[in-house]
C-alpha cells in the first residue's frame, strides 16, 4: 500500500519539472480510496487548486499505471499533511488496489547509478559564472577519463555542483549505455564503507568501485575526520585513475583547505582540472529564472524576473525557491507575479542586509581583505597589489551596486572614469582564468553580506 502511493508520486515526479513537483507535491498524501473515489490530502487550498487544475491528469495516469481502480480523484485540505511536509505515507486504507509490481524507478540497466535523471546539461543554464565549468563538463562527456581527469568542481552551496556533475553522469550514460557510472555523496561512501566492515563485506565494497567507468563523488569536504574512509577512497581513486577511468569530485572548497590524512593524495584531486562555479551575475540570474519559468510553463513578467534577480544574492537554490514562492502567491491571490511584488506581498525577500550594502562597505571590506587601509587602496599607488585591490573594488562597486563609472571613480579616488572602465574590464577578463582572483572575490563577497 505504502509503495503504491510512493510510486504514484515517483511517476509524477518523473513527468513534471522538479521545481513544480517540489512546490506542489510536498506534503501531499493519500488518505483513502473508497467506492472508487481516491481522496488525496493536500496541505493548503492553493495546492488543492493547482493539483485540480494542472496536475490532475498526471496523478490519474500515474494511479492507473500503478493498478489503482478509481472513478474520481478528490483533493482535500488535510492539515495533518502540513505537519509532516516531507512524508509521503499512506494514511488510510487502500482497498481496491490491485497488486502489481512496479518498476518505474528502475533504470534500464540493472546497475544502480545513484543518478537523478532530472539533472541534465540541457536544463543547466550557461552563464558567465559557469561557462568554464560547463565546457570542461562537456569535454568529460565526450572523452571520459581522458581530458579532465580527475575533474574537481568546487563552489559555495547552491551554485549548481550537484546538478552539473549529475548531468555529466547522465550524459555519459546516454552516450555509453554500457558504462558503469556511479554518483555517490561522500557521506554515503563513508556509511557504506563502515557497513561493509561491520558485515565483513569490504572486499565486495572495493570490487564494486573498482569496476566503475565513472565515479562521481559529491561533497568531498565531509571526508574530514573519517580517516579510514579517506584511505579507502584514495586507494580506489588511485586504481581507477591508473585505469584511466573518469573521476569527478565536488567540494565546497579546494582539497588544500580540507584536512585529509594524506595531503599528497588529496592534492591529486586537482591535478586534472579544478574549476569553480561562481555566483551568477544579474543577467545570469535572469536567464536562469526565465528558463525555470518556461520549464514550469508559467508566465512571468520580465520586471518580476528582474526584481528576483536583483534581490536574491545568496545562491541559485534560493533564487529557485523565491521564484516558487512568488508563483505560489500569484496563484493563491489569482494575480500576476509582478502584481504580487507591486502589492507588497513578498517584500520579505528584500533581506535587510541588501539595503545595508553601501559603496563604503565594499571599499572597506576590499581594503581589509588585501590588508590595506582604505587610504592606501584608494591612493594613486601603482604598486601592483594595491592597484589590483583598487580594481577589485571598482569591479565590485559596479557588479554589486551597479554604480556608474564616474561615480566609482569618485569613490576610489581616481580622476578619470576611463581608468575605472579599464580596471573593471581587466578584472572581468582575469576572472575567466585566474582562480586565485576568483577565490579572492568570492571571499570579499561573502563578507559583504554578513
| Interface with Mg ion (CB under 5 A) | 161-162
CB of 395 to ligand ADP, least distance (A): 22
- Cell reading at 29: 498524501
Shortest distance, position 85 Cβ to Mg ion, whole Å: 21
Residue pair 303/338 in contact (Cβ under 8 Å)? The answer is yes
Q: Which helix (H) or strand (E) holds 408?
A: helix 405-411
To Mg ion, the closest distance from the beta carbon of 449 in angstroms equals 20
Neighbouring residues of 74: CB distance < 8 A, sequence distance ≥ 6: 37, 38, 39, 40
* Nearest CB to Mg ion, comparing residues 166 and 440: 166
Cell numbers given for 407: 561615480
Asked if residue 183 lies in contact with residue 115, where contact means CB atoms within 8 angstroms, the answer is: yes
Peptide bond into 150 cis (omega under 30): yes
Query: Given the complex with ligand ADP, which of 123 and 381 has the nearer CB atom?
Result: 123
User: What is the smallest separation between the CB atom of 152 and Mg ion, expressed in angstroms?
Assistant: 14
Q: Which of 276, 320, 322, 331 binds ligand ADP (CB under 6 A)?
A: 320
Residue 56 CB, shortest distance to Mg ion, in Å, is: 33
Cα–Cα dist 359/71, whole Å? 63
**Which of 88, 163, 268, 365 contacts ligand ADP by CB under 6 A?**
163
The sign of the CA dihedral 350, 351, 355, 357 is negative
For position 331 contacting ligand ADP by CB under 6 A, the verdict is no
Which of ligand ADP, Mg ion, none binds 309 (CB below 5-8 Å, type-dependent)?
Answer: none
Cβ nearer to ligand ADP, comparing 288 with 372: 288
Based on the number of CB atoms within 10 Å of its own CB, is 199 exposed (0-12), middle (13-18) or buried (19 or more)?
exposed
Please name the residue that has the C-alpha cell 512568488: 326
From 25-33, 70-78, 87-95, 157-165, span contacting ligand ADP (CB under 6 A)? 157-165
Q: Does position 124 bind ligand ADP by CB under 6 A?
A: yes
> How distant, in Å, are the alpha carbons of 148, 186, 358, 448 from that of 167?
16, 18, 38, 32
Q: Does the protein bind ligand ADP through residue 162 (CB under 6 A)?
A: yes
We find the least distance from the C-beta atom of residue 389 to ligand ADP, in angstroms, to be 28
Q: Is 172 in the site for ligand ADP (CB under 6 A)?
A: no
Q: Answer yes or no: are the C-beta atoms of 445 and 279 closer than 8 Å.
A: yes
Query: Which partner from the list ligand ADP, Mg ion, none does 317 bind, CB cut-off 5 to 8 Å by kind?
Result: ligand ADP
DSSP 346: T
Site membership for ligand ADP, residue 125 (CB under 6 A): yes
Q: Does 220 bind ligand ADP (CB under 6 A)?
A: no
Q: How far is the CB of 159 from ligand ADP (least distance, A)?
A: 5
For residues 34 and 38, give the distance between their C-alpha atoms in angstroms, rounded to a whole number.
Answer: 7
Q: How far apart are CA 386 and CA 383, in angstroms?
A: 6
> Which residue, 92 or 158, is less far from ligand ADP as judged by CB?
158
Residue 316 binds to ligand ADP (criterion: CB under 6 A): yes
Smaller CB distance to Mg ion: residue 38 or 168? 168
Residue numbers 273-302 binding ligand ADP by CB under 6 A: 288
Which three cell numbers, joined as nine digits, stand for 188?
A: 554515503
**How far apart are alpha carbons 215 and 138 in whole angstroms?**
16
Residues that contact ligand ADP, how many (by CB under 6 A): 15
Per DSSP, the residues of 203-222 read HHHHHHHHT-SEEEEE-GGG
Give the CB-nearest residue to ligand ADP: 160
CB of 161 to Mg ion, least distance (A): 5
Q: Identify the residue among 62, 159, 327, 396 touching ligand ADP (CB under 6 A).
A: 159
- Nearer to Mg ion by C-beta: 88 or 163? 163
- Under the binding rule (CB under 6 A), the answer on residue 412 touching ligand ADP is no
Residue 288 binds: one of ligand ADP, Mg ion, none (C-beta under 5 to 8 A by kind): ligand ADP
Q: Which residue, 183 or 190, has its beta carbon nearer to ligand ADP? A: 183
CB 174 within 8 A of CB 274: no
The residue among 78 and 161 lying less far from ligand ADP, judged by its C-beta, is 161
Shortest distance, CB of residue 362 to ligand ADP, whole angstroms? 25
Contacts 24+ apart (CB under 8 A), 257-265: 258/220, 258/221, 258/223, 258/224, 259/224, 259/225, 260/223, 260/224, 260/230, 261/227, 261/230, 261/231, 262/230, 262/231, 262/234, 265/234, 265/237, 265/238
Least CB distance from residue 140 to ligand ADP, whole Å? 16
Which CB atom, from 29 or from 162, has the smaller least distance to Mg ion? 162
Which residues contact ligand ADP (rule: CB under 6 A)?
124-125, 130, 155, 157-163, 288, 316-317, 320
Amino acid at each position: 500500500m505504502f509503495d503504491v502511493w510512493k510510486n504514484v508520486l515517483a511517476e509524477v515526479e518523473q513527468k513534471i519539472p522538479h521545481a513544480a513537483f517540489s512546490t506542489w507535491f510536498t506534503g501531499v498524501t493519500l488518505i483513502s480510496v473508497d467506492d472508487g473515489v481516491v481522496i488525496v490530502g493536500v496541505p493548503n487550498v492553493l495546492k488543492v487548486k493547482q493539483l485540480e487544475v494542472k496536475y490532475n491528469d498526471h496523478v490519474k495516469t500515474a494511479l492507473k499505471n500503478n493498478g489503482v481502480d478509481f472513478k474520481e480523484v478528490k483533493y482535500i485540505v488535510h492539515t495533518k499533511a502540513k505537519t509532516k511536509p516531507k512524508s509521503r505515507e499512506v494514511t488510510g486504507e487502500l482497498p481496491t488496489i490491485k497488486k502489481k509490481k512496479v518498476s518505474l524507478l528502475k533504470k534500464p540497466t540493472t546497475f544502480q547509478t545513484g543518478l537523478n535523471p532530472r539533472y541534465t546539461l540541457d536544463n543547466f543554464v550557461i552563464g558567465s559564472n559557469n561557462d568554464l565549468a560547463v565546457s570542461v563538463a562537456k569535454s568529460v562527456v565526450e572523452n571520459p577519463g581522458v581530458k579532465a581527469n580527475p575533474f574537481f568542481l568546487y563552489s559555495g552551496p547552491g551554485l549548481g555542483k550537484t546538478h552539473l556533475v549529475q548531468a555529466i553522469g547522465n550524459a555519459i550514460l546516454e552516450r555509453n549505455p554500457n558504462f558503469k557510472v556511479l554518483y555517490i555523496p561522500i557521506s554515503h561512501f563513508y556509511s557504506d564503507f563502515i557497513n561493509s566492515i561491520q558485515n565483513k563485506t569490504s572486499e565486495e565494497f572495493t570490487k564494486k568501485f573498482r569496476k566503475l567507468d565513472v565515479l562521481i563523488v559529491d561533497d568531498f569536504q565531509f571526508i574530514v575526520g573519517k580517516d579510514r574512509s579517506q584511505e579507502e577512497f584514495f586507494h580506489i581513486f588511485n586504481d581507477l585513475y591508473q585505469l584511466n577511468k573518469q573521476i569527478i569530485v565536488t567540494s565546497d572548497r579546494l582539497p588544500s583547505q580540507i584536512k585529509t590524512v594524506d595531503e599528497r593524495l588529496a592534492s591529486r584531486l586537482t591535478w586534472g582540472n579544478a574549476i569553480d562555479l561562481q555566483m551568477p551575475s544579474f543577467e545570469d540570474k535572469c536567464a536562469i529564472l526565465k528558463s525555470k519559468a518556461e520549464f514550469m510553463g508559467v508566465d512571468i513578467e520580465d520586471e518580476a524576473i528582474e526584481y528576483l534577480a536583483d534581490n536574491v544574492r545568496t545562491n541559485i537554490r534560493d533564487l529557485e525557491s523565491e521564484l516558487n514562492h512568488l508563483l505560489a502567491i500569484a496563484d493563491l491571490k489569482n494575480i500576476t507575479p509582478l502584481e504580487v511584488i507591486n502589492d507588497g506581498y513578498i517584500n520579505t525577500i528584500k533581506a535587510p542586509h541588501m539595503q545595508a550594502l553601501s559603496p563604503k562597505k565594499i571599499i572597506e571590506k576590499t581594503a581589509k581583505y588585501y590588508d590595506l587601509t582604505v587610504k592606501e587602496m584608494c591612493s594613486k599607488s601603482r604598486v601592483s597589489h594595491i592597484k589590483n585591490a583598487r580594481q577589485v573594488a571598482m569591479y565590485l562597486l559596479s557588479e554589486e551596486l551597479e554604480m556608474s563609472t564616474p561615480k566609482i571613480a569618485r569613490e576610489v579616488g581616481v580622476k578619470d572614469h576611463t581608468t575605472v572602465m579599464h580596471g573593471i574590464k581587466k578584472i572581468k577578463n582575469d576572472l575567466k582564468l585566474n582562480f586565485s582572483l576568483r577565490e579572492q572575490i568570492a571571499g570579499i563577497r561573502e563578507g559583504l553580506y554578513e
